[in-house]
Amino acid sequence: MRTFSRSLAIVLIAVAAFIIGCNKEQTTSEESTFAFVVYPGAKYYAQLTDLFKQAHKVIKPNEEPPPTAVYDTDAPLEDVATYYAQQYGYGKVAADSTNNLSAARPAAYYRTGDLNADAKATQEIMQKVNVKADTAKAVGAYKAAEIEAKPNRPHVTIERPYFDPTRNEVVNRTLILMFRQ
């Protein structure tokens, strides 16, 4: 009888451990659900979101575009970049990709660019998706921030000002582009 009780206790412990283990797996998979984090007050920009998805199909015709979302806001670029860096657990946004000449690239950093150079670089793709972008109107420099993706969060590119090829104008607002890598 004692052996039966001991065997029963071992089986019950094993079953309990199995049930607890299964519950932990469910919690982990729920936590790893992919999600976009939207900056408070940002507005979804459906037209540019569709444009990015179409461009992806031109560049990689055999692949479905990844989950992508474009938002824009009046908030300063630095505030938006700091928000995303904190949401992702990265702390501060580095001044640039060199991170004070560190060997490791920072997970969140600022960069700059030229609107006209970027618009010209995408001109061929714009033509293939039937957008007649007037790149001559893309004038000036911009500041951007790159926030590295996490397993359950998208890569985020933040830019101000930005050139909107659908309206052929430079927009002095902050663009938030999110896409799964």
- Assess whether 129 and 162 both reside in one domain: yes
- Assess whether 52 and 66 both reside in one domain: yes
- Assess whether 134 and 58 both reside in one domain: yes
Distance between CA 93 and CA 77 in Å, rounded? 11
- Assess whether 129 and 73 both reside in one domain: yes
Where residue 104 falls (left for φ over 0; alpha for ψ -120 to 50; beta otherwise) is beta
Bridge-based pairing of strands 68-73 and 43-44 is antiparallel
| 134 pLDDT higher than 50 | yes
- Assess whether 100 and 147 both reside in one domain: yes
- Assess whether 112 and 132 both reside in one domain: yes
Closest CA to 107 of 154, 146, 81: 146
Give the pLDDT mean for 127-143. Answer: 93
Length of the chain as a residue count: 181
- Assess whether 11 and 64 both reside in one domain: no
- Assess whether 22 and 45 both reside in one domain: no
Distance between CA 47 and CA 71 in Å, rounded? 10
- Assess whether 24 and 66 both reside in one domain: no
pLDDT band at 32 (very low <50, low <70, confident <90, very high): low
Question: Which pLDDT tens digit goes with each residue over 46-80?
Answer: 999 999 999 999 999 999 999 999 999 999 999 99
- Assess whether 39 and 125 both reside in one domain: yes
CA Rg, the chain, in Å?
23
- Assess whether 22 and 47 both reside in one domain: no
Structural domain including 24 reads 1-31
- Assess whether 64 and 130 both reside in one domain: yes
